[in-house]
Amino acid sequence: MAPRAFDAGYRALPISVQKLARRARGAVPYPWVRGLTFGALHRHFTRHDRWSTAELQRHQLAQLRRIAQLAERHVPAYRARLRQAGLAPGDIRSLADWRALPITTKVELQDAPEAFVNASIPAHARQARTTSGSTGTPLTLWLTKRTQQAELAVMFRGWEWNGYRPGDRIAVCAGALSGERLGPAHAPHTRYRDEIELSPSHLDERGALAYLELLRTFAPAHFRTYPSVAMMLAKTMADRGLEPPRVRTIWTQSETMDADDRAYIEASWGAPVVDYYGMQEKCVAMSQCEAGRMHVHSDFGLVEFVESDFPPLCHVIATGFYNDAMPLLRYATRDLAIPETTPCPCGRALPTVRRLVGRLEDYLVDRDGAPVLEADATIASLTTIRECQIVQESLERTRVLVVPGRHYQSEDGDELARRLRQQLGDGVEVTIETKARIPRTKTGKQRFIVSRVTSNWEP
Ligand SMILES: [Zn+2]
């Protein structure tokens, strides 16, 4: 999740100072509550909102020249690459020029992270982040505070497209709590003036019921969370015959969500879902607009769609404009998407994607090694299953972890296994294991698919 200005070092403060700081924050109006940097960035991105394609491209080329120049001067890995490609940053005049630079892979970043660090930024001004190993490739990344504020600013731009207004109350259930823990141990939360934070790691049945009650009393306008959390709470409400807490919109992020899940969440909560897509590497950000399309914040980072071996799927290759501590140029995100070619009815020139299909690690592959794109269909209409995770151990063997809801019967599991076998191919062994809960990553995310089969269709 995007960190906030407030949390760095917060927990190191004595409780009395934390309380004072909270009270002070409560008195500051938006957007200054998130700091001066945020306010300036927010205004900057808001101004770009209605730029034409030509204006955006001019801006992107200027940003590419700037970040390439910085990389050439201060980042060892790129000094060599730019030279080898015969690319002088000052000479980048078109995206065709830019494509002379070879793609940077996650493996290269993993093998020698220090080679990608901008040595001219003092150590105290950059923060190291280790991404969870949930994708099988843990990474160490360096960011600046400005990087994080820039991402938050484009996130807010996206939410504003969908009706967020300063002063609206927000409930967040994504990532770790950023402040003092309030409430019972089984359902801790943090509270600011306009914002309440819940912990996605405390979502067993008891925690879920407590959080639903808390949402009812706090009455947020918007609920920012992972699709798996919105889904899990929706199923808890259905099981218990509870009315949903009233929210105007549900802001989702960090996990892929198929059309059925989205429809189920929207129907259960009686509120539209607005999705955001970002990544720890902070080189790409996308937000859903009021017309329902996912727009690339192409003034936050350049995104190139490079055709994969399975068209129309394209590799998402990105260059971030806001991480001077560790610039990533033409970075292969390992995400796949289908770009949209027609303009969006909302009128914004920011490019759009028709479909985001997630990471290479988030795919099942059939016996012939081809990606299974509709794996989510296997769970469709099996509403007695509260949560589920498909673990592909090998081409021959797949395990499914299932958290049964109140009305679950073993036939539901059998049906799920039958549908999966149909997609994966004859002779594939599919086993169902019922669990009390599905393990979540360090930041509380849940993965629907965990693949231990390495695909070889890199960009
Ligand atoms: Zn749009």
Q: How far apart are CA 260 and CA 375, in angstroms?
A: 12
How many angstroms separate the alpha carbon of residue 89 from the centre of ligand 1?
Answer: 32
Calculated CA dihedral for residues 412, 414, 417, 422, nearest 10 degrees: -100
Task: Tell how far the Cα of 276 is from the centroid of ligand 1, in angstroms.
Answer: 13
Q: How far is the CA of 246 from the centre of ligand 1 (A)?
A: 26
Residue whose C-alpha is closest to residue 143's, from 121, 110, 158: 121
Query: Ligand 1 center to residue 4 CA distance, Å?
Result: 27
What is the rounded distance in angstroms from the CA atom of residue 437 to the CA atom of residue 232? 11
Residue length of the chain: 459
Cis peptide before 122 (omega within 30 of 0): no
Could you report the per-residue pLDDT of 286-317, keeping only the tens digit for each? 999 999 999 999 999 999 999 988 888 899 99
Residue 383: pLDDT band with limits 50, 70, 90:
confident
Q: Cα of 340 to ligand 1 centre, how many Å?
A: 11
Q: How much distance in Å is there from the Cα of 278 to the middle of ligand 1?
A: 17
Cα of 297 from ligand 1 centre, angstroms: 11
Q: Where are the beta strands (DSSP E) in 395-455?
A: 397-404, 429-434, 449-451
Expressed in angstroms and rounded, the spacing between residue 287 Cα and the centre of ligand 1 is 9
Q: Could you tell me what percentage of the chain is helix, strand and coil, using 3-state DSSP and rounding each to the nearest 5?
A: 35, 20, 40
Within 8 A by CB and 6+ apart from 99, the residues are 304, 330
How far is the centre of ligand 1, averaged over its atoms, from the C-alpha of 292 (Å)? 7
Of residues 244 and 451, more confidently modeled: 244
Q: Using a pLDDT cut of 70, give the percent of the chain over it.
A: 90
CA of 339 to the centre of ligand 1 (A): 13
What does the pLDDT look like over 188-208, one tens digit per residue? Answer: 999 988 999 999 999 989 999
Run of H or E residues at 36: helix 36-48
Give 344 Cα–ligand 1 centroid separation in angstroms: 5
> How much is the average pLDDT of 17-39?
61
Q: Quick one: average pLDDT of 139-143?
A: 91
Ligand 1 mean position to 355 CA, how many Å?
A: 14
Q: At what angle do helices 227-240 and 205-218 cross, to 10 degrees?
A: 100
Q: Please tell me the distance between residue 288's alpha carbon and the centre of ligand 1 in angstroms.
A: 7
Contact by Cβ (8 Å): 290, 342? no
CA of 92 to the centre of ligand 1 (A): 29
Q: What is the distance in A from the centroid of ligand 1 to the CA of 318?
A: 21
Max mean pLDDT range (109-123, 239-253, 444-458): 239-253
- DSSP assignment of 322-390 equals S-TTS--SSEEEEEEEEE--SPPTT---S-EEEEEEEEGGG-EE-TTS-EETTGGGGGTT-TTEEEEEE
pLDDT at 57: 96
Residue 433 has pLDDT above 50, yes or no: yes
Q: For the stretch 4-24, what's the b/e string if a residue is b when 16 or more beta carbons lie within 10 angstroms of its beta carbon?
A: bbbeeebeeeeeeeeeeebee
- Nearest-CA neighbor of 384 among 360, 363, 361, 415? 415
Ligand 1 midpoint to CA 53 (Å): 14
CA–CA dist 33, 332 (Å, integer) = 35
Rounded Cα distance, 458 and 349, in Å? 29
CB-based burial label for 185 (10 Å; 0-12, 13-18, 19+)? exposed
Give the model's confidence band at 117: pLDDT under 50 very low, under 70 low, under 90 confident, else very high.
very high
Residue 334 in this model has a pLDDT that exceeds 80: yes
Q: Are 25 and 33 in contact (CB under 8 A)?
A: yes
Alpha carbon of 291 to ligand 1 centroid (Å): 5
| Residue 93 to residues 62, 80, 87, 97, 317, Cα–Cα distance (Å) | 9, 21, 11, 6, 19
Residue 362 alpha carbon to ligand 1 centre in Å: 27
Alpha carbons 401 and 155: distance in angstroms, whole number: 33
Q: How far is the CA of 345 from the centre of ligand 1 (A)?
A: 6
pTM: 0.84
Question: 45, 31 in Cβ contact below 8 A?
Answer: no
Percentage above 90 pLDDT, the chain: 66
**What is the separation of C-alpha 199 from the centre of its chain, rounded to a whole number of angstroms?**
17
Alpha carbon separation from 50 to 44, 215, 289, 411 (Å, rounded)? 12, 35, 13, 53
50 Cα to the center of ligand 1, angstroms: 11
* Alpha carbon of 227 to ligand 1 centroid (Å): 21
* Distance from Cα 293 to the centre of ligand 1, integer Å: 5
